Amino acid sequence: MIRALSITRSIHDWLYSSMSENMAYFIEMVLIAIVYLAIFAVAGLFLVLIERRVAAWFQLRIGPNRVGFQGLLQTMADALKLLSKELTGTEKADKFLYNLAPYFVIITALMALAVIPFTQDFQAFDINIGILFLIAISSIGVIGILLGGWSSNNKFALIGAMRSGVQTISYELSIGLSLLTMILITGSLQLSEIVEVQKSGWLIVQGHIPAIIAFMIYMIAGTAETNRAPFDMAEAESELGAGFHTEYSGMKFAYFFLAEFINMFIIAAIATTVFFGAWLSPFGITESIPILGVFWFLAKAMVLVFLMMWFRWTFPRLRVDQLLTLEWKYLLPLNLMNIVIMALIVWLNLTIQF
């Protein structure tokens, strides 16, 4: 299950030599969970900071630059503030579901993080249906949003939750189909396998035109999937106040907030893995040093994250019916057509390979 780097290999060996196999297995899982939780927290906070700085630069502002060097500790301070705040709720809220909802959102985000190949062998869970797992997991997150909106006994929250449900169910299709287009080339759902195929050219190059179309569709659908502008129907600030998390405060709100950013990173990470060769360096310049793969992976993911931020700070929001029109009348037919074209290209061996 765990194909480790050398340091993790030695920890692994030590654990297995010093205790029983089951015990070592259990401790190993806990250790990995802690590592990923740390990644989760740091990445989430860091992304929030990046978003705020990037937004500021788009808007001719300076952005947070007071707490720590260039504001690096700003989000830490915010998180501490949120931790210390009172957890309020509405009177007639369904308390159990209300408290459960944020965990749904955050746990699914965390689960998806597990299968992402940060670099060679740096992957917690290399399941052979990796892509399918990711798509399945990412659609569970919407249950948390629906529960949160439904149980908080607020009409604005309910409208937001219903919008989110409609939106995620629709855009799941496009995400799945656009990834399916690429799987026609790789022939495997396993993420490490997909990376292996890309050693002879990133898939966006291999698949050329249909791959680029698939990438565009994926980015649109992915932005919609994370409920970010221009598809932020669920929290549409000028329409619904704060949407589904209107009644959440303190750390519970922070969970929703962090999960949004982690989801954004996950969408970018999937795109990096499937379209841009994951941790592979361009032209194989650093292939001999696998640890640099983390750098390449994060760099590519960050570029895509930046793209999503660029969308957010430029475009107006769609209306809820236009959102569905875009999916069912434009993205879905194009996607189906694209799959046929891709199938033809793979069948006629027209892919570009180095």
Would you tell me which residues interact with other proteins (CB under 8 A)?
A: 54-62, 155-156, 159, 229-230, 232, 236-241, 310-311, 313-322, 330, 334
* Minimum CB distance to other proteins, residue 333 (Å): 9
Q: Which residues of 290-323 are buried (b: 16+ CB within 10 A; e: fewer)?
A: eeebeebbbebbeebbeebbebbeeeebbebeeb
- Taking the complex as a whole, the smallest distance from the CB of residue 338 to other proteins amounts, in Å, to 13
C-alpha–C-alpha distance, residues 173 and 221, integer Å = 9
What the block records as the tokens of 276 is: 């841009």
The continuous run of DSSP H or E covering 276 comes out as none
Looking at the Cβ atoms of 188 and 249, the one nearer to other proteins is 249
Q: Which is nearer to other proteins, 115 or 323 (CB)?
A: 323
- Closer residue to other proteins (CB): 31 or 324: 324
* Residue 42 host element (H or E): helix 21-58
SS3 for 119? strand
Q: Report the residue number, 24 or 216, with the smaller CB distance to other proteins.
A: 216
Least distance to other proteins from the beta carbon of 124, Å?
Answer: 35
Query: How far apart, in whole angstroms, are the C-alpha atoms of residue 17 and residue 25?
Result: 12
**Amino acid at position 214, single letter:** A
Closer residue to other proteins (CB): 7 or 60: 60
Task: Work out how close the CB of 59 gets to other proteins at its nearest, in angstroms, rounded to a whole number.
Answer: 4
For residue 232, the minimal CB distance to other proteins (Å) is 7
How many residues comprise the chain?
Answer: 354
